[in-house]
Amino acid sequence: MNRIYYILYLLILSLLPYPTRAQLAQSLRVEIPSDPDESESFGVTPLGDKGLLMTIQKGTFYDRTPNQFNFQKYDVNFKLLWRKEFKQDIKFKPVLTYDTDQYVYHLFREYDTGRFQFLRLHLDDGAIETFEGDLLDQFDVKLFKVMGSQAYVGGYHHTRPVVMAFSFFDNSTKVLPGLYVNRMEISSLELDEARQEVNVLVHSLRRHCKFSIRTYNYDSKLLRTLDFDGAKNSLISGKLLPINEHESLLVGNYSTDCTPYSQGIYVTRIRQGESAEEAVNTIQYIEFSQLQNFFNYLKPHRQQKLLARAQKKKEEGKDYKFHYRLLVHDLQPTTDGLTLVAEVYYPQYRGAMTAYGGYLRGADRYDGFRYTHAFICGFDKQGKLLWDNCFPIKELLSSDLTEMVQVSHQGNRTVLAYPNDGEITTEVIQGSKVLKETEKFKLKTNSENEKVTFSAQDNLMAWYGQHFLACGFQKIAPSKSYASPREVFYLNKLTFSDDLSSSKSTGATTRKNDEPAR
């Protein structure tokens, strides 16, 4: 009888989900000493399996010292391939950067004038070229991209949107027509390399909640305008992805009441030559409550309460108002169609007591952007939702609104990861299934006799294959002495092990985060 029980026990064990052993491992680490008394900044640009570019900038415009740039290219094993230096004229200050497969571009502007300079760094050998020209005075630059031999610079002039095309061939400048409108904002600037077109997506959340796509050719001529004024809901943002020679998918988030708070996501197919009315009629709206896993960052009872309230509103013929703010990533093409990734956040304020004329009054101090979770959706090439999943984000506060979650597609699985305070949090999914729950990996030094006492400006990038790049600043001190800590800029190569391919794990798991819905 005992033998029968033992056989049954083994059979039950074989049917249980196989425990996954995949984990993040630190492959390589480089440390560059950082002087806290010197004005310097470090930047890292991943170049896939071609390596990476590190940019070290010293000096600032504000203390009247010229900017000195040290460009260093490394291979995937952190071997130095070349180093180039560039000393910038003191009258120029850095604004934005942009990278392509061949070049890294830096945009500079002369203080209090409309004079701009473009630096082009060739990634093969480090050759540097500069181009100067006039854009606009009092131009608040927000966007910078390059296609071919033209740079596109977007921003605001006297609060009105402007996009300008600058030619590296003859240093000439053109203004893209039809954008200089009151109460209008640039949602995104999308470059279509195959069609040699520029798409400017603009919107307004005031009054009529307008959203439109203005498409220009390489010569900056307006080709067509698609206005979504007749849409059922207010489109907040949009990202375009061409799926064939004549069609693109437009994906973004929407609201129901002309506010920046999202009610869900939308998707529609844009066909060349079709009218705006046809594009509006094909919009599919997907409310957050329709997504299978969107609320999995909450505890089960919180999920049930929220969804019950939303269902009750629907039964009453009303919409439940969600108050989510989304940071939508660029769309990622897949063999099936595309992947959408968006991070949910809210501005966080801290109450404080201040004295005015002898009285104490409440005051709010801005802390930064608090992230609650990210969600990821898969669509086919017709715009049909295939699956969705959720990645809880705990205790992550950032002074800048930037993309924190990195996505690495590895075969039939997807690794999600974000950095925070010297640690990397990961989750492994396969469509709507969670193969491995959130797990933390602590970044280590090269010596067991040292410990990290402080970590700041942590950054993470999906690199190539199963590898990630992590970088930032750390204070490192000996473990068994009271010597002063040293400050370094660290660069870590992280590798995610590949034994998930044989995993039998299926089905999503219960979340334990309990952040409030915003």
**Euclidean distance between CA atoms 202 and 220, whole angstroms:** 17
- Grade residue 446 by pLDDT with cuts at 50, 70 and 90: confident
Mean pLDDT taken over the chain? 87
Q: Position 294: which residue type? A: F
Structure confidence at residue 209 (pLDDT): 82
> pLDDT tens, 60-118?
656 667 789 999 999 999 999 999 999 999 889 999 999 999 999 999 999 889 999 99
The larger pLDDT score, comparing residue 107 to residue 363, is at: 107
In contact, 152 and 189? CB cutoff 8 Å = yes
Structure confidence at residue 498 (pLDDT): 65
Residue 511 has pLDDT above 50, yes or no: no
**Euclidean distance between CA atoms 114 and 133, whole angstroms:** 8
**Euclidean distance between CA atoms 455 and 107, whole angstroms:** 29
Give percent of the chain with pLDDT exceeding 70.
87
Eight-state DSSP code of residue 50: G
> pLDDT tens, 212-242?
999 999 999 999 999 998 888 999 999 999 9
**Euclidean distance between CA atoms 94 and 91, whole angstroms:** 10
- Grade residue 500 by pLDDT with cuts at 50, 70 and 90: very low
Residue 352 has pLDDT above 70, yes or no: no
> pLDDT tens, 125-164?
999 999 999 998 889 999 999 999 999 999 999 999 999 9
> pLDDT tens, 239-294?
999 988 889 999 999 998 888 899 999 999 998 878 778 888 889 999 999 999 99
Helix, strand, or coil (residue 110): strand
Structure confidence at residue 257 (pLDDT): 82
Angle at 66 between CA 131 and CA 117, to 5 degrees: 15
Structure confidence at residue 241 (pLDDT): 93
Eight-state DSSP code of residue 499: G
The 3-state secondary structure of 65-108, one letter per residue: CCCEEEEEEECCCCCEEEEEEEECCCCEEEEEEEECCCEEEEEE
> pLDDT tens, 372-381?
999 999 999 9
Eight-state DSSP code of residue 329: P
- Grade residue 509 by pLDDT with cuts at 50, 70 and 90: very low
User: Whose CA is closest to 114, among 176, 50, 164?
Assistant: 164
Structure confidence at residue 258 (pLDDT): 81
Structure confidence at residue 21 (pLDDT): 55
Structure confidence at residue 9 (pLDDT): 41
Question: What average pLDDT does range 344-352 have in this prediction?
Answer: 83
In contact, 496 and 24? CB cutoff 8 Å = yes
Structure confidence at residue 107 (pLDDT): 97
**Euclidean distance between CA atoms 83 and 71, whole angstroms:** 6
Give percent of the chain with pLDDT exceeding 90.
63
Helix, strand, or coil (residue 301): helix
- Grade residue 16 by pLDDT with cuts at 50, 70 and 90: very low
Q: Count, in order, helices (H) and strands (E) of the chain.
A: 3, 34
Question: What average pLDDT does range 200-209 have in this prediction?
Answer: 81
- Grade residue 513 by pLDDT with cuts at 50, 70 and 90: very low
The 3-state secondary structure of 186-250, one letter per residue: EEEEEEECCCCEEEEEEECCCCCCCEEEEEEECCCCEEEEEECCCCCCEECCCEEEECCCCEEEE
Residues 6+ apart with CB under 8 A from 448: 479
Structure confidence at residue 314 (pLDDT): 84
